[in-house]
Amino acid sequence: MNIYEKLLEIQNELKAPKSQYNKFGKYYYRNCEDILEAVKPLCKKHKVVLIITDDIESNSNRYYVKATAKLVDVEKEDSEISVNAYAREEENKKGMDGSQVTGSSSSYARKYALNGLFNIDDTKDSDTTNNEKSNDNTDYICCDCKKAFNAVEREGKTYTAEDIYNMAKKKSPDGKARCKICRAKFESKENEINE
C-alpha cells in the first residue's frame, strides 16, 4: 500500500467526535487533542507516523503560526504527505500573556492542518458560527467505548442523544460522558485507586 492508499484508509476509518462543549455559544466542537486521540491508533495500524510542527511567520507586522501536519510512511521513509494551516496571533488578548496567545494560535492552526490532512469537515463547528443542534448522534458518544448515545423515551418524555450525553457527563466523576457500563468500570477503577 502506498502513502495515498494508507491516508485514504485512515480518512475513511477516522471518527473524531466533537466532545468539547462551549457553554457560552451552546455548541459542541472538537479540538486538536480530540483528533490526535482518534488518529493515533489508525496511524499505528497503517504503519504511518504523524508529525506536527509549527513555524512563526511575519506578514505586514502581524505574526502567524504556520502548522504543518505531515504523514510519513514507516515502510517507505521517503514517502510523505503534508498539509499546512495558518492562524494569526492576536496583538493582545485580555487575560493571556504572549506565550498563551502563541499557544492558542498553534492549537488552532494544528487543528486545521489535521482537518486538511484527514479530510475532517468542521462545517458545524464554532468557526462557522452555526449553533444549530445536530440531529446526528455521532457527535454524542461514550469517551471510552466510542458507542453513540441514542434518544430514549421515559415516562412519556423523549430525551435526545444530546440530552443523554449531557446527563452522562453530569453523572461521571471527571465530567466526561460515559455509557453506564464504562462509567461503572471507571468508578470501579477510581475506587481501587482511592483504597
pLDDT, tens digit, for every residue of 129-170?
Answer: 433 333 344 567 888 887 777 777 777 777 777 888 888 888
* pLDDT value, residue 137: 46
- Give the Cα separation of 140 and 184 in Å (integer): 19
56-77 burial, b at 16+ Cβ within 10 Å, e below that, comes to eeeeeeebbbbbbbbbbbeeee
Give the three-class secondary structure for 59. Answer: strand
The per-residue pLDDT for range 13-31, each reduced to its tens digit, is 999 888 888 777 778 888 8
Are 108 and 102 in contact, with CB atoms under 8 Å apart?
no
* pLDDT value, residue 126: 43
Are 55 and 44 in contact, with CB atoms under 8 Å apart?
no
Enter the pTM of the model.
Answer: 0.59
Average pLDDT, the chain: 81
The residues that bridge with 73 in the sheet, in sequence order, are 48
The residues that bridge with 51 in the sheet, in sequence order, are 70
Distance separating the N- and C-terminal Cα atoms of the chain? 49
Q: Where are the beta strands (DSSP E) in the chain?
A: 20-22, 27-29, 48-59, 62-73, 80-88, 152-154, 157-159
